[in-house]
Amino acid sequence: MTQLAIGEATPHGATYDGHGVNFTLFSAHAERVELWRF
């Protein structure tokens, strides 16, 4: 089951915290992003 929660703004990229993975990125002009999980 996938759970979504508020994460942290840093560090950028994917970071495992022992309980799950935080995905963070920055774009000054993006209107949307896609996260593909394999």
pLDDT band with cut points at 50, 70 and 90 for residue 36: confident
In percent, how much of the chain has pLDDT > 70? 97
Average pLDDT over residues 18-24: 86
User: pTM for the full model?
Assistant: 0.53
Nearest to 2 by CA among 35, 27, 28, 26: 35
- 11-26: b (≥16 Cβ within 10 Å) or e: eeeeeeeeeeebeeee
- DSSP letter for each residue of 1-38: --------S-SSEEEE-SS-EEEE---SS-S-------
